[in-house]
Structure 1
Amino acid sequence: MSVERAPVDEQASIEDLGRELGERIARTPEYERFEDTREAVQRDEEVQAKIDEFERLRAEFMQARQTGQATNADLNHVQDAQDELHSMPVMSEFLDAQDELTATLEMVNEAISDPLAVDFGGEAGGCCQD
């Protein structure tokens, strides 16, 4: 399938459509929920402390892994910290909202990609991908 290129004078129109799409996505319930829950995570001191703890443990594990000193117990400790973080109600709500927004954006990607015969989000910028 061949897709004709838009004349140069239509380029601005295509860019305008892109901006309009972004604005409309920003007004969806999924995006609004994502933003609300993201802000709640940022405001919650307990969640922020747990994020800091998880990031510290993960960084320590990655360093130990690079030097060959990481153990399964270390990995389990990092996974337990992540599970604790994700089970916090504010964080859990954020992760659910993030998943919901991702699903919505994947549907938008499919709608854009269908007439192009290309996975717009995954391959449009690449060269020679299989």
Structure 2
Amino acid sequence: MSVDTEGTTAGADAETLATALGEAITDLPEYQAYLDAKADVEADEAAQQRIEEFEQVREEYMVAKQTNRADESDLDALKDAKRRLHALPVMKTYLRSQAALESRLQELDELISEPLAVDFGEQAGSCCQD
């Protein structure tokens, strides 16, 4: 085999393995729990209302901050909206499932990165490094 053929074969093998990894991740219990919790949040009227409230307060805070008019009360309102959103049982479940999935993906990232000279997840997720 020539160098080009070997490179192509290795590239195809890496792509096949990456596809298989993605498919395997969708079978993880943490991923399934995350999808279930996400669907529950999307179907919960109270959660959707609190999300809208939080997004509105956050947008108002960002505008105030960009115009140098944000003060402590604006930040307090944002923190309060976030606290009220996260206090909902359905959001607590969602946030726990999200953290569990992120932890599991971090473990996989470490396994992938072990033989590499770079952090796979960090390199894959960013366009530029300082």
TM-score by length of 1: 0.89
Q: Which moved more, 1:118-127 or 1:96-105?
A: 118-127
Counterpart amino acid of residue 85 in structure 1: L
Structure 2: how far apart are the matches of 1:34 and 1:24?
Answer: 15
Which residue of 1 is the match for residue 3 of structure 2?
none
Local SS of the residue matching 2:62? helix
Structure 2: how far apart are the matches of 1:57 and 1:9?
Answer: 52
Task: Summarize the alignment of residues 21-100 of structure 1 with structure 2, pairs less than 5 Å apart.
Answer: 21-100=21-100
Counterpart amino acid of residue 107 in structure 1: E
Structure 2: how far apart are the matches of 1:117 and 1:10?
Answer: 18
Structure 2: how far apart are the matches of 1:14 and 1:78?
Answer: 44
Structure 1: how far apart are the matches of 2:32 and 2:25?
Answer: 9
Q: CA RMSD in A?
A: 1.5
Which residue of 2 is the match for residue 103 of structure 1?
103
Gap regions ≥5 residues in structure 2: 1-5
> Percent identity of the aligned residues?
43
**Deviation for aligned residue 1:58:** 0.5
**Deviation for aligned residue 1:20:** 0.6
Structure 1: how far apart are the matches of 2:66 and 2:14?
Answer: 47
**Deviation for aligned residue 1:22:** 0.6
Gap regions ≥5 residues in structure 1: 1-5
**Deviation for aligned residue 1:24:** 0.6
Q: Deviations over 1:71-122 (max 9, x none)?
A: 1011001101101100100011000000000000001110010101210111
